[in-house]
Structure 1
Amino acid sequence: MTFGRTLRRAIPCLCPLALLAACTEEQPSDAGAGGGTGTSESTGSTSTATGTSAGTGGAGESDGSGGSGGSGGVPSRDPEEVPVLENVVFYDGYAETVDEPIPDGVIRHNNSLVATRLTDELLAKVQTTLKVRVVVGALCDNYDRLGSVNLALVPKGAQTYVPGEVDRIEVARFVTPFMDMNKQPTTVPYEWEASNLVPILKDPDLLADHDIWFELGIFGVPYAANDEVPGCAGRNDTQLGSLMLYTDSTKEAQDFSVLLPLAISEDFNNYATGASDKVGTTRKTVRFELPADTQNAQLVLITSNHGANEGGEEYIRREHYVYVDGELALQYKPGRTSCEPFRKYNTQGNGIYGRSPRSDAQWQSFSNWCPGDAIDTRIVPWGAASAGMHEFVIDVPDATFVGGEGNFPFSLYVQAQ
């Protein structure tokens, strides 16, 4: 697999992390600070959008786009669910990193980000399709927060690494519900179709030089729960997190041999220097180089809208436009039809759900994502492309970022055949 850092327009990332505020140097932000709203993203017009919580009844799955090949005449194997991280405790995202016990084989980068290396045994279990599953458990954070799953490509044999110094891609993003740990249900499940990761996890050239680490990030703050949730006084543990892979051989493996990590949770807004092409616009350009002609390529994009202040971007659905080499490749407006499927997970009273169900029209009037839902991973087909420099642009022309608040954390990578 051809892989590496790419040539691109210099858009400095304040801290290239997988999770809003996953480093101690950065000032983290809540997914719904001040009582944020919710709905995850709807399927784009020319892309495949993946990501679902159990509350959706499994809707939103995709077989992905991009090539064939792999399973051939190989006999089908039994499906497997492979545990990667089990019941890892996350802590106050603003505080100094704790020195608390952590499962064997897991490293804690900080209170909001943990990682584990995929062993040869785990990699051997991966078949031709893949789903990523996360379960978040309630501890002493009763607000909606942002979380993510990432892959880190780490030099072979390293026992640890600095996230900002290795190539990483974000593969899934989610928003936790408002949860009271004393009320049922105390866990919320999420799932994403992620078969496009199989060529990465199975590539012998990549694996010869790199170990693959899965990261799980969940930002949390215990301060409100310390006062509001019985049993949380004086505690700084915020959530439990587990990560599983589901794999089977029901479809042929996708065929990609080039991976270009381009951005991971970069700031995207119109008021901070470097967060867009220029201050005052919500337009972000990324230039990159394909190492060779390709018969088939795709872009993998994750965005989510945040800003819980009055009139904030969290509350207003905006049209998003994606261009590749000047051609419109995708137009989408984030937001589910309804957040009602996730009401049962929001066991802490909050101003988003209120006491009674909302109509679809009410949800669509203000919500960009649902507390307790997955954010879609958008697969944007590109097709054949020539070697050399190319340009990706994402533009949200109507975004206003009232009061200089809010952000659209932006992640992007390219796969090519």
Structure 2
Amino acid sequence: MTPSSCMQRLAATALLGLSVGGAMAAPGTFNVFSDLPMFGIYVSTPPAYTPPPGVVMQRNGTRFVTQLTSAQRALIGSDLKARVTYHAQCDNYDRLGAMFLIVKPVGVPLSDGDPITEVARWITPFSNYWNGVKATYTFPDADLSAFAGLMRNPNLDVWVGIDGGSNPYTGDPCTNRDVTPEFRAVGFRYSLDLASTRGTPKLKSTAAMPVPFGDYTAVPVAGAARLAQASAGTAVVIVSGHGAANGGDEYKHTNDTLTLNGNVVGSFSTMVDCKRYRQYSPDGNPFIFLNNKTSNPRNWCPGALVAARAFKVSLLPENTVSLGMGDARVPEGSYYRTSITLLPH
């Protein structure tokens, strides 16, 4: 099935699910972005590109957002999944990408400085170019169930976005090819669909971000967040290490501990095995995908999601969090891309 026919099928599925006997119905599947271009992260001016209606381009074409409609939100069930599809073009390297939310009171306009809530992260594969047999790749589904109640809440405006950008470079697959400058400027494209199969989530009215989505060069990574009242809740942690020089954070896995208000509420290992993702990176260094649990440790894989880890917690009006990496050394040039979100129930 081609990407365009897949998008048509998903759009048809969403339309069929919009109403049953004249009433809004859930769950269902709907398209958010289709073939969204990712421009260069080192470009200092906006590209000559007009986004589709309802889509806002930010950060010189490396971030795009769109507001969910009431019809789309009616299709959000309790088992919400995000399906990100990568369409290769000029940049065949592994790059960071993220899906995020911007949640605002009804009617408050979007601005470039709005804080974002990261809900999914991934690393692109080493593609075999825009016309190769593996030029289109769909990542494993990202579980957004913890955020479903927030995204469905009709008393809020919810924007969905993709962040990342690409890096078309001299010598990339488009160099010395008969392509237009406009084609040459795009590293790859993303499509995004949201899918639910059951249930209706309990509505949530807020999300707090004690550790905003960002790159941190010291550990532990710590922060604080204020809530309206004490409640049960969920803490969602997304973390990945980056940097190749001096035994950088890309080449290790760590045993991490999440502390909330002075109490350990969760722990996990960032160890991954990249072997099964090798097939999706035909132009990549095969060494990346070997012996990841022994002599070649890693905490992320090209072509894979970065795990989002959710922990049930007890939240207070004033909350402090700390994420320890089990390793106090962050080499020069390395960083931990981290986000921690608190979701009251």
TM-score between the two structures when normalised by the length of structure 2:
0.83
Gaps of 5+ in 2: 1-22
Task: State the match for 1:413 in structure 2.
Answer: 341
Contact 2:26/2:200 (8 A) holds in 1 = no
Alignment of 1:334 with 2:334, yes or no, is no
Please show how residues 145-224 of structure 1 align to structure 2 within 5 Å: 145-154=95-104, 156-157=106-107, 160-162=110-112, 164=113, 166-181=114-129, 182-190=131-139, 191-205=141-155, 207=156, 211-224=157-170
Q: Report the CA distance between 1:225 and its aligned residue.
A: 4.6
Please show how residues 296-307 of structure 1 align to structure 2 within 5 Å: 296-307=232-243
Aligned residue identity for 2:88: A
Distance 1:349 1:300 in 2: 31
Q: Higher relative CO (CA 8 A, sep ≥ 6), structure 1 or 2? A: 1
Alignment of 1:285 with 2:222, yes or no, is yes
Task: State the match for 2:250 in structure 1.
Answer: 314
Aligned residue identity for 2:128: D
Task: State the match for 2:9 in structure 1.
Answer: none
Q: Report the CA distance between 1:361 and its aligned residue.
A: 4.1
Computed over aligned residues only, the root mean square deviation of the Cα atoms, in angstroms, reads 2.6
Distance 2:166 2:178 in 1: 14
Distance 1:306 1:366 in 2: 13
Identical-pair percentage = 24
Contact 1:284/1:393 (8 A) holds in 2 = yes
Task: State the match for 2:298 in structure 1.
Answer: 367
Which one of the candidate residues 219, 244, 249 is aligned to 2:193?
244
Aligned length: 316
Q: Report the CA distance between 1:238 and its aligned residue.
A: 0.4
Please show how residues 62-101 of structure 1 align to structure 2 within 5 Å: 79-95=27-43, 96-101=45-50
Task: State the match for 1:61 in structure 2.
Answer: none
Gaps of 5+ in 1: 1-74, 271-281
Distance 2:265 2:208 in 1: 18
TM-score between the two structures when normalised by the length of structure 1:
0.69
Q: Please identify which structure carries the higher strand content.
A: 2
Which one of the candidate residues 71, 77, 81 is aligned to 1:127?
77
Contact 2:153/2:204 (8 A) holds in 1 = no
Distance 1:152 1:288 in 2: 17
Aligned residue identity for 1:290: L
SS at match of 1:248: coil
Please show how residues 11-90 of structure 1 align to structure 2 within 5 Å: 79-90=27-38
Contact 2:253/2:269 (8 A) holds in 1 = yes
